Structure 1
């Protein structure tokens, strides 16, 4: 590749201009991360508004996550080809455009198409916002830049359900997307006006088009198989079998091509470092468990516990309080000690709280729902911050950008896959427990007959079915939380497979 445009490094910003630009960059990162969870509590509203089943509504979450995951590894190539500032501003404008179209959607097909495009536009915003924040802050204030980026990354996912709930209850579901439009317009204007002199050098570089095509094919086939499997009786369906074959062959071809390509779109060679692959495995298991439970909680509270979208969002958002308070402490500890004990304690704490939540009953109060989530938030920064440091300290300096992109890709993919698996398991287990409880509660019809003398036969049958439904959903929810909790425990133990890091990674140029 050869550079066609070069730029001298401009001086960092200062004063009000620095904080205005930092606010715009942080807001860009915030809305990109926010949209991974803002639809969580809105799924019942979206499904009802578009006339589709609630399980189809979860595609709104997974489609965005998968599309976002695909573009994260491409950020480095796109930056070299178009420039950091130009790419950030363009991505922000496209994110706003597709957000507007999401809110204007009149069918599930249109909404999913726009969510995919929104995810493709939003993928580069997270790494580019980090890169630009560290460019505009003076060297002595780099910790402030990292702290600001980390804060928006931690806070946005927990505020998403709360904001989504309030907008759904007080206005309507399209506004969970429309709210992005003015933010995107303002941020893109401010960033272009203040940061265009910070534009990076542009290089004419070839993209690994075959690797990218294979990546899209196997990821799309896998996610479609997971999303559609429960609706087609899994491998009894030719469609699901075909998708599985495409996913397996596509993945195998992708591995072979990327390991032999000179300039791969995803540098799989970084997995030769034990500390890196252990960190990636840990974050994939833990984040998948966390995200799956995060998606399930508001659906359970709204659909079966009588919560409004706002109340479900408040219960979920409470988990962010201790995350924000603990993040600065964790950042300091990560630079002073072995990160493995921090990760172990953080992930084990998440697992312990999730296992505690698996003993809920149908008469659980709001406080009993929210309090464990409040304390669970303490584990998030201990899990997230030191694990990234451990991963980056395990690879060579010139591999850090590729390693960070691959780690973000697999983290996002694990969340999308976990969403499909959790919702499928939740529904399947609910049906299983419904059949078991029906047999146990009224195998001979005596209960319906006895209640029928008071309420009438049909009302009695409906009442008994309602009771069985609520209990089967509760049992299914508890079992999913139990499995998620065990997955956290496994992830916490896995981190000890990593060797003790010999250096602290400088992530100031990682994107």
Structure 2
């Protein structure tokens, strides 16, 4: 792959990887700025969550479209459309003063943004031959789609000029223009094939989109609306279940539909299930630990930027090791070790105290990155193994659906778990303190009890309840990952070819 004759392939893969890296870094960086964006538009914490939720909805709608437009207008024009749309919307968000308008733009931005990593996937199948060449392409895909997580806070802080979040969107728009400039020099021979419009499964796209959009909204908004206590959350979950079943029966009878169910008879199925667990595991370093740092330690984005940075270094090393080991070591061992490493990180962090700072998290975050890089590369071998050219789009669509659904539902699960454990620990701590105070009041004069003391004690109880709830969440995910590691052995032995 890396020789003079293959330069066009290298150039195309590099451009596509650059786009994937952009959407791997900036959306997460922007999520760290939610408090500042909220203040800018004078909206509350409940409203600002839609800023992220609608981006995720746009991703669900845009994932299949990357394959649609690439088949109709060719790869070059598809990349230009995605890059141009993403750039234009980014500039509009930076200029907008209306929060409602920005929310609409975020939906559209997610629609275009999700296409960037899919183009890397498309190029792997359309440019690279099976074997060593495709293994190198998988390494590029794994790096471009995962390294950005550790860089997100650092990039966000670096572009947070004069405490102005809008500059980040200006930079995102400008970088997307650069992507378009170079993408325009690739695949000049790709034709426009309007006849492929007739082959698009619009009905399949509609029903699966309704199912997943309903699920995403319910997961994103469920916790703050008390789940089943709010009728429309229940309605969305029921709608999602109904359309999931409709989708299954439709795709089962329509062999040429958007999703080919034949793919699930291959190692793809356990690979996707492990991919979902993997998405839960990545939240340790990009959501649970950062949340702890913000709520307990009071960290701002500048401090988070350095605290999470080791994740990227670990990810790069993990990908390099996984690439080296691909033809040498049975990939089941890599998957197993990755899960154990994730579980060990969560278990170690479950012993955190209020005295921990970013230094105590350095090695756990680094090893989480190492596990992330190793797992991301190895699982791709199984997800993409033995697929024909007709099943490639299905694989790409489901793989990216799981990415969005895993992150969204994972945050919902951990948010609910943490909130419920906060309530539990607050009750237990208050009961314990009430018993202690009753004994003290018997021997001390009420004169020594002040409102200031009571307020300080209440704050301490709240902080301790928060701390204990994060310990519970980390313990829970550690146990899940230790159990999940056993499922890696359902795969057959695999080593990639060097030919």
Contact 1:281 1:491 in 2 (8 A): no
2:265 alignment partner in structure 1 = 272
- Say how many residue pairs are matched: 491
Q: Secondary structure at the match of 2:425?
A: helix
Shift of 1:437: 1.3
Shift of 1:63: 3.1
2:221 alignment partner in structure 1 = 228
Task: Indicate yes or no: 2:361 matched with 1:369.
Answer: yes
2:406 alignment partner in structure 1 = 414
Contact 2:218 2:236 in 1 (8 A): yes
1:28 alignment partner in structure 2 = 19
Shift of 1:48: 3.5
Task: Indicate yes or no: 2:233 matched with 1:240.
Answer: yes
Q: Secondary structure at the match of 1:264?
A: coil
Task: Report the aligned-residue RMSD.
Answer: 3.1
The 3 A distance-change label for structure 1 pair 284 and 200 is farther
The 3 A distance-change label for structure 1 pair 231 and 326 is closer
1:216 alignment partner in structure 2 = 209
1:8 alignment partner in structure 2 = none
Q: Any idea what the Cα deviations from partners look like across 1:297-341, whole Å, max 9, x if unmatched?
A: 223212321212111122112111122123222112113332111
Contact 1:159 1:317 in 2 (8 A): yes
Task: Show structure 1 runs of 5+ residues with no match.
Answer: 1-10, 507-511
* Superposition TM-score, scaled by structure 1 size: 0.86
The 3 A distance-change label for structure 1 pair 212 and 447 is farther
Q: Secondary structure at the match of 1:378?
A: helix
Contact 2:142 2:376 in 1 (8 A): no
Q: Secondary structure at the match of 2:259?
A: coil
2:146 & 2:195 partners in 1: Cα distance? 35
Q: Secondary structure at the match of 1:195?
A: coil
1:484 alignment partner in structure 2 = 477
Task: Indicate yes or no: 2:142 matched with 1:150.
Answer: yes
Task: Show structure 2 runs of 5+ residues with no match.
Answer: none
Shift of 1:62: 3.8
Q: Secondary structure at the match of 1:319?
A: helix
Q: Any idea what the Cα deviations from partners look like across 1:114-162, whole Å, max 9, x if unmatched?
A: 2221111012211213545887899997766554443322321211122
1:496 alignment partner in structure 2 = 489
The 3 A distance-change label for structure 1 pair 502 and 350 is closer
The 3 A distance-change label for structure 1 pair 337 and 358 is same
Shift of 1:26: 2.9
Q: Any idea what the Cα deviations from partners look like across 1:353-408, whole Å, max 9, x if unmatched?
A: 11111111111122112231122222112211011101222544542342233222
1:128 alignment partner in structure 2 = 119
Q: Decide which of 137, 148, 156 is 1:164's aligned counterpart.
A: 156
1:91 alignment partner in structure 2 = 82
1:113 alignment partner in structure 2 = 104
2:435 & 2:255 partners in 1: Cα distance? 66
2:391 & 2:175 partners in 1: Cα distance? 34
Map 1:189-208; keep pairs closer than 5 Å: 189-192=181-184, 194-199=185-190, 202=193, 204-205=195-196, 206=198, 207-208=200-201
1:311 alignment partner in structure 2 = 303
